[in-house]
Structure 1
């Protein structure tokens, strides 16, 4: 063989080997990733021709597929779309979000746990069907959460999360403004693309689930973390005397920070319980300054800050407690300001941990995975994430929070005949925008069934009337009643 032919032959052989290696890589190494890639149009086209499984709340299908009269055979539909959109997300030709994305393999019928079902369908020559996903959501609690947000004045922005303290089950999750996922499920793909661009460009950010995707200063609700750190230090309890007064001078600064009402919290020395009842800024500024950044950060992280824990619903943002704050910033962190930010889910986890003797449970929204015949294939088991505080500290904090609802700033959450533990928060933002209103609670205080966090990011409420108790308290109360009275 002459040299030119030999060179060409070797080159062709190398090309052939390269093709073999590439085909092997794509079919065996990358196949699973490519199959699950939401941009994979072939997979989407196939799933459009298959009956996708339902997403269930109780016995109600809040998302299901129905026969359609076009080439795709099935149309995804959402019952009560605005109420549940932050949880279900949407299933479209272009992408998926929420539970539709996190549980896509089950809903599409491709999950390995549905192998037997697929095999039976193949042998019986039946059309394959997707599995069903049972959520942890309590329908009555979700109704109350959504109604509470809807009743806020004006074009409001806000979110609500309710947890079962002993398990981490998400009982309610609502966010406003929101969107209609039915429009994303349309088979008019041009309209879907236009809708996606319109909502993505909307300054109100309706596609964001504010319950888990928006982090803002938690204000005075963070005083639960500060009080926990103080009691865990061994130097304080609910009856300990702490600094009161009308102002706290930030260290290394001439700035004096006062209380929300301009008062003195009842004196220069008050009990920790009284400080919580009246939400005394001076007390918690002083405590955070005394404890220091390391102790405050360690306590915050035990509650879940600087991490994420929700595994079955995408879009969670980490709540932050920076470990590099200077002394003035650390003092301000004691009242939930400075660089501290939190999601409503995170603050619900703080309240739930106190209700659960100090144990932080991993939050979850998927309760069970079921075959098309509704047989249970898998069930989520509760998991403890950390021991945030001792049971003794939890008892001390509960005493303080019950007093805050009984005769403090959190009285709007009172429920006749039931002991409720709660805390208000009003977090300052920039000078040109109103503050954020927060509220956290759990009840019954002696046998907690539900922990709630409410964030009102904005509403048509006069600036001087914005307060966590006024805006968030009634919402938390309604959710609590819905859970307890079910």
Structure 2
């Protein structure tokens, strides 16, 4: 009898051990796979069972959560959704997350290990903390000024604090309300289809995810390359550029927007945007040096994050001399995001050193304890300080006496550069009006802001849209708001 009891006990122990091994296999070894299975709704239920943490602008939440009482309990809500959509993105129970909602999802959803009281706490307990907060660098008054200035027209604005790299405004127009996509109803599906099918592409973040031909605004990069390569030794001296100017390797002459560009100096060429002078200088600098200079400003960087991903601004690595000449005036295949062109202006304003742009000031726990703080980082030196000083002088000339006068602000030093880019066969494509600029109180130690504005108008003929007329006034209003906050 005792023998049978021992056998039964041994079998029970074996079965218990097998259950233990199977529990370990399911709960530990297969946990990630089961959690990620499309058939498993528990992660989704758990994800939306608690309110999501908030994104803050100017210390005020621009997001929230709504208790629906459904199985997926909490839906995301947005305050001034269209205004801040290029910053927040959306958090949708149906379509996932984008922009900051995606880049900072760990903090906002409470799954970031840094929110836990102890290392590996979440891994051992399988429990989530309350969602944390994301404090952005955006200034509400600047964001509002940019949004009002675009007034529904297609375009974008990006503004940066030159010394720190803090992104102060990031606007895309036309915009949309991300709250329309938060839930999982038929209305959400209909809104998704409507927004994605709209001719104006309201869900496209034109400030960081769309690239445009920068036109004459790119001439600042070409001028930096010409000075750095010593192709131009005296910015006030005449160049050897003829007018008419035949593009090298072709029979095509390049037009100028104004007279007086024959043998014009670099200062005059920036002031009045002479195509011939800048194309000639770009060709003389050569592809290698032009590529190196453009790269130092941020072109061709496929790893730029703010922390949302940024589209690559392009300067072709392989070009013939005629293509290089056109690329040097922001045409051919040269393209840039508005953020990239704000970086160009910021590098000039900051003495040649480019700070890495960033959108998140810090993240905190739900009750305000700092989790991470974004430090100032140098992106690199775009040019020597002496080159930046010369370019500052040229941009001031362009703003005060040239094509950028509509950006001037009383009692403030403003440097600017206009650009009007036509493209396509016979310049039949959508024209783009650009303005890049920086502004500094005259008794301040450094500039307060660098800004880039692009306005696209598919209805306008090339001569009816201009950087000075369409984009510069918007830049001015954004800079005015930046200067109010930076008043010495």
TM-score norm. by structure 2 comes to: 0.87
Deviation digits for residues 319-375 of structure 1, max 9, x if unmatched? 011110101000111111111111101111111011111112111111110111112
Query: Which secondary structure does the structure 2 equivalent of 1:424 belong to?
Result: strand
* 1:282 and 2:306 are equivalent in the alignment: no
Query: Which secondary structure does the structure 2 equivalent of 1:393 belong to?
Result: helix
1:223-262 aligned within 5 A? 223-234=219-230, 235-261=232-258
- Residue of structure 2 in register with 1:160 after alignment: 157
- Residue of structure 2 in register with 1:7 after alignment: none
Within 1, Cα distance between the matches of 2:441 and 2:315?
Answer: 28
Q: 1:39 to 1:220 in 2, by over 3 A?
A: farther
| Contact 2:263-2:277 within 8 A present in 1 as well | no
| Contact 1:166-1:356 within 8 A present in 2 as well | yes
Deviation digits for residues 60-94 of structure 1, max 9, x if unmatched? 11112243344444231101010111110111112
Q: 1:39 to 1:289 in 2, by over 3 A?
A: farther
1:261-280 aligned within 5 A? 261=258, 263-265=259-261, 268-280=262-274
Query: Which secondary structure does the structure 2 equivalent of 1:76 belong to?
Result: strand
TM-score norm. by structure 1 comes to: 0.87
| Contact 1:278-1:404 within 8 A present in 2 as well | yes
Within 1, Cα distance between the matches of 2:450 and 2:461?
Answer: 28
Within 1, Cα distance between the matches of 2:121 and 2:380?
Answer: 43
Q: How many residues are paired up?
A: 454
Within 2, Cα distance between the matches of 1:465 and 1:174?
Answer: 23
Q: 1:269 to 1:77 in 2, by over 3 A?
A: same
Query: Which secondary structure does the structure 2 equivalent of 1:161 belong to?
Result: strand
**Aligned match of 2:328 in 309, 325, 334?**
334
Q: 1:329 to 1:129 in 2, by over 3 A?
A: same
* 1:179 and 2:179 are equivalent in the alignment: no
1:11-90 aligned within 5 A? 26-27=30-31, 42-90=42-90
* 1:478 and 2:477 are equivalent in the alignment: yes
CA RMSD in angstroms comes to 2.8
- The structural deviation recorded for 1:177 is 1.6
- The structural deviation recorded for 1:309 is 5.0
- The structural deviation recorded for 1:206 is 1.5
Within 2, Cα distance between the matches of 1:361 and 1:247?
Answer: 40
Larger Rg: 2
Within 1, Cα distance between the matches of 2:300 and 2:39?
Answer: 31
- Residue of structure 2 in register with 1:197 after alignment: 193
Q: 1:39 to 1:285 in 2, by over 3 A?
A: farther
| Contact 2:431-2:458 within 8 A present in 1 as well | no
Q: 1:464 to 1:18 in 2, by over 3 A?
A: farther
Within 2, Cα distance between the matches of 1:449 and 1:360?
Answer: 14
Q: 1:365 to 1:40 in 2, by over 3 A?
A: farther
Unpaired segments of 5 or more residues in structure 1?
1-16
Within 2, Cα distance between the matches of 1:278 and 1:485?
Answer: 30
Query: Which secondary structure does the structure 1 equivalent of 2:183 belong to?
Result: coil
| Contact 1:423-1:441 within 8 A present in 2 as well | yes
Within 2, Cα distance between the matches of 1:40 and 1:402?
Answer: 61
Deviation digits for residues 289-345 of structure 1, max 9, x if unmatched? 111111111110011100145424434210011110101000111111111111101
Within 2, Cα distance between the matches of 1:41 and 1:181?
Answer: 24
* 1:464 and 2:463 are equivalent in the alignment: yes
- The structural deviation recorded for 1:58 is 1.4
| Contact 2:399-2:407 within 8 A present in 1 as well | yes
Deviation digits for residues 98-122 of structure 1, max 9, x if unmatched? 111110110011111110299999x
Within 2, Cα distance between the matches of 1:480 and 1:210?
Answer: 20
Within 1, Cα distance between the matches of 2:159 and 2:39?
Answer: 33
Deviation digits for residues 218-263 of structure 1, max 9, x if unmatched? 00000000000011113424323224553210111111111024x2
Unpaired segments of 5 or more residues in structure 2?
1-20
| Contact 1:50-1:128 within 8 A present in 2 as well | no
Q: 1:44 to 1:87 in 2, by over 3 A?
A: farther
| Contact 1:75-1:185 within 8 A present in 2 as well | yes
